[in-house]
Structure 1
Amino acid sequence: MEFRCVDECSQCCIEREYYPSKKFGKIGVLILPDEKERIEKLAKENNLDIKILPRIGVSESRDSGPSKILAYQMMGVEKNGNTCPFLDTESGNKSPHNGFPCKIYKNRPLACKTYPLIESDPITLDEKCKFCKEHKTADENLNSETESLLKIKEQMNTELPFIWRFATEIGEEQDNNLFESGWILEE
């Protein structure tokens, strides 16, 4: 079955999730280091304030914190971390599937180009995607998404033994007491 966005859906650009657990806060859109400057420039061109935080770092020692950042994350504009800053929710314009349009669709981050694919072994579909929930499968026209995911995996490959995740302290207000902040070593 061919993947297509569900009519009037923009859910993947709005809802953010806690990952890998609530203590880390909500994650933002994955931004690779070589994309960061371009995304910041696009925000400036669109008169948008964006918040980009570290996401994943690596190091040779467990005592020092990360010596290299493998990925950043662009946080949502809402206080709880939701809604991509590039999602046009105000103009009244619509995307081809009648959802909210992306202001930078042709220049969107590689992570956005992979959706609805999720990096796992084997690669799978995001169960939160409305199309994927409804149809349970999509085995056609996901070639460019697969290619984008493989590019991300290639850039995330590292020889350094210690992996760090950045806790954002961003999420739902009722979860504030669970959040940690800063770099946390993966055990």
Structure 2
Amino acid sequence: MSFMRWEQKEIVEFKCIEECSQCCIEREYYPSKKFGKIGVLILPEEKERVEKLADENNLDVKILPRIGVSKDRDTIPTKILAYQMMGIEKNGNTCPFLDTESGNKSPHNGFPCKIYKDRPLACRTYPLIESDPITLDEKCKFCKEYKTADENLNSEIESLMKIKEQMNTEYPFIWRFATEIGEGEDNNLFESGWILEE
């Protein structure tokens, strides 16, 4: 008589860490410091809606280009694939829609988002960076602690697929916009405007 041993795999479901709002506060340099810090990715079809939401909330938002394309290397982008919404701090941090002043709390006791139900696709995707294989942002506190999540990421995957569709292009030259925004001690590293990806 033989017995089979079944290993039960623990299912890890993504959820925000208690009192965390880090992903809405900390912005990063990407792909390097010379580009400055990046803002929240905003697709062209989201830009007008985000600006309208800012007006409705009496907020100033700074939206810069992020990724553009052109048919030749000597011309700045003729089409913008993505914009970016910069943070309200001088160093680029803190989303303008993050409610840090009212004393209200999100369901996990962090700062709430003023437009949570209407937030951009990039926010709906987080902490997912890649879908095949599933890759999570290592800077996310949940991801640091659990290293994985294999449940309830369907809406994040769907949002990431929509963003990827928009990034498909037949244009041969891809440009990134250098924001000149970041920490004061890095000012001498920043470049400005469109930079051709090599």
Gaps of 5+ in 1: none
Which residue of structure 2 lines up, in the alignment, with residue 137 of structure 1?
148
The secondary structure found in structure 1 opposite 2:122 is helix
Equivalent of 2:107 in 85, 93, 96: 96
Is the aligned partner of 1:51 residue 2:58?
Answer: no
- Name the CA distance, whole Å, in 2 between partners of 1:91 and 1:51: 22
Amino acid at match of 1:147: E
Structure number with greater Rg is 2
Equivalent position of 2:98 in the other structure: 87
The residue aligned with 1:169 is 180
Q: Could you tell me how far apart the structure 2 residues matched to 1:123 and 1:21 are? A: 24
Q: Where in structure 1 do 4 or more consecutive aligned residues deviate above 3 Å?
A: 119-123
- 1:123 Cα deviation after fit: 3.9
Q: Distance in 2 between matches of 1:42 and 1:173?
A: 30
Q: Report the counterpart of residue 179 of structure 1 in structure 2.
A: 190
> 1: CA distance between counterparts of 2:195 and 2:131?
22
- TM-score of the two chains, using structure 1 as the length reference: 0.99
In the alignment, is residue 8 of structure 1 matched against residue 23 of structure 2? no
Equivalent of 1:32 in 25, 43, 47:
43
Contact 2:131 2:160 in 1 (8 A): no
The answer for the alignment partner of 2:159 in structure 1 is 148
Q: Deviations over 1:73-98 (max 9, x none)?
A: 00000000000000000000000000
Q: Give the SS at the match of 2:68.
A: strand
CA distance in 2, matches of 1:100, 1:156: 31
Q: After the TM superposition, which of the residue ranges 91-100 and 118-127 deviates more from structure 2?
A: 118-127
Contiguous gaps of at least 5 residues in structure 2: 1-11
Give 1:72 deviation, angstroms: 0.1
The answer to whether the aligner puts 1:107 opposite 2:118 as a matched pair is: yes
**What is the CA distance between 1:122 and its match in structure 2?**
3.4
Greater mean alpha carbon deviation, residues 58-67 or residues 113-122: 113-122
User: For 2:112, what is the secondary structure of its paired residue?
Assistant: coil
DSSP-derived class of the 1:118 partner: strand
Output the amino acid matched with 2:66: R
Q: CA-atom RMSD, angstroms?
A: 0.8
* Aligned length, in residue pairs: 187
2:9 aligned partner: none
